[in-house]
Amino acid sequence: MSTTIDSIKNITVIGAGAMGRQIAMTAALAGYQTTVQDISQDMLDAASAEMSGWAESRVAKGKLEQSAADAALGNLAWETDLERAAANADFVIEAATERLDIKRGIFESLGSLAPSHAILATNSSTLGSSKVAEASGRAEQVCNMHFFNPALVMKCVEVVRHESTSDNTVDVTMELARRFGKEPVLINREIPGFIANRVMGAINDESLFLYENGYASKEDIDAAIRNGLGHPMGPFELMDMVGLDVIDFIAQATYEETGAEEDKPNESISKLVAEGKFGRKSGEGFYEYK
Ligand code: CAA
């Protein structure tokens, strides 16, 4: 029996990191019973506290009714055990660490733990879902559903189908994104980085070229992109927000897959990562954060 959009009541998000917690809150705000699963109780506690704080500040700003905040927080459950988290899922969004072995293990487990009608989506921005689909034993119900950071704010969701993804899986995933208040776009064939990250990568590469070769400071490159092209953040500010470790990891994975010279990880970024400078989250990246 294939899933219909109206039969989806319970959503499970795997991973309570920066993306997973905001995806879960997005689903909870849209009225879905949402279970967040993470192997780390500390991570779940941090995610729960951050989402409560976010809801409180929205209410204080007058952007969210207290009753809506309470309802959304009430829709959230936090769980370390994957079996319990997946047991009633109608739709799963995996937002775990961006490592293929970990994701494949999760999809294999979900194949036996999630109800047979459940659609299994991965939030991965690099790994096409074909890489995990077979492990789940239900390849036609697997696709990418890629959110952007910060997921509570950014409107875009990239839905990516692989060769065996069914039309129903695509339709339901696109509609679910709309019910989350997002504006989904469809990628018909897998390509690493999909649309937005590929274009962002080109901007980052060019900005790094200008910076590394002394044509302009990072501050002036950021200012040119903000004030000249109307982007909300400059490329260096944005890389610091996304996380230099994430960018470096994505670059490594893409390079391993394509072997193309232009996909080689950037040395300035790899150096900062090796020094523990991951961007905003570690207090320093291209810029310092107090
Ligand atoms: N979490 C939740 N909400 C946040 C937030 C966060 N981390 N940061 C900002 N916001 C909210 C604020 O609460 C505010 O909401 P209201 O206007 O409703 O009050 C709104 O966003 C605007 O925030 P600010 O006024 O503080 O600041 P801003 O106007 O500069 O916006 C921004 C902040 C939304 C991050 C904006 O700068 C922006 O859009 N930047 C570009 C982000 C971007 O390109 N993201 C994609 C990254 S690539 C990616 O994610 C793909 C991948 O796979 C790696």
* Residue length of the chain: 290
pLDDT in tens, 46-60: 999 999 999 999 999
**235 preceded by a cis bond (ω within 30 of 0):** no
pLDDT in tens, 182-192: 999 999 999 98
ipTM value:
0.96
Centre a 10 Å sphere on the Cβ of residue 149 and count the other Cβ atoms it contains: 16
If pLDDT is split at 50, 70 and 90, which confidence band does 286 have?
A: very high
Catalytic residue among 75, 123, 146, 266: 146
Catalytic residue among 124, 125, 130, 136: 125
Catalytic residue among 158, 190, 237, 284: 158
Please give the biggest Cα pair distance in the chain. Answer: 60
Ligand 1: centre distance to CA 235 (Å): 14
Ligand 1: centre distance to CA 147 (Å): 13
At 44 the pLDDT is 98
158 is a catalytic site residue: yes
Which 3 state secondary structure label does DSSP give 121? strand
Whole-Å CA distances, 162 to 20, 126, 180, 243: 22, 13, 23, 27
Looking at ligand 1, which residue's alpha carbon is closest to its atom 47? 149
Q: What percent of the chain has pLDDT over 90?
A: 88
Q: Name the DSSP class of 266.
A: P
Please state the CATH superfamily assignment of the domain spanning residues 5-187 in this structure.
NAD(P)-binding Rossmann-like Domain (3.40.50.720)
At 58 the pLDDT is 98
The domains of the chain are located at 5-187, 196-278
Instruction: Confirm if 258 and 192 have CB atoms less than 8 A apart.
Output: yes
Question: Which architecture does CATH list for 196-278?
Answer: Orthogonal Bundle (1.10)
Ligand 1: centre distance to CA 149 (Å): 7
CA neighbours closer than 13 Å in the CB half-sphere of residue 107 = 30
Ligand 1 pocket residues where CB is under 6 Å: 54, 61, 63, 125, 148-150, 152-154, 197, 200, 232-233, 238, 242, 246
At 89 the pLDDT is 98
At 1 the pLDDT is 64
pTM: 0.94
125 is a catalytic site residue: yes
Instruction: Tell me the angle at which helices 235-242 and 218-229 cross, rounded to the nearest 10 degrees.
Output: 100
Task: Write the CB contacts of 165 (distance below 8 Å, at least 6 apart in sequence).
Answer: 129, 133, 139, 140, 142, 143
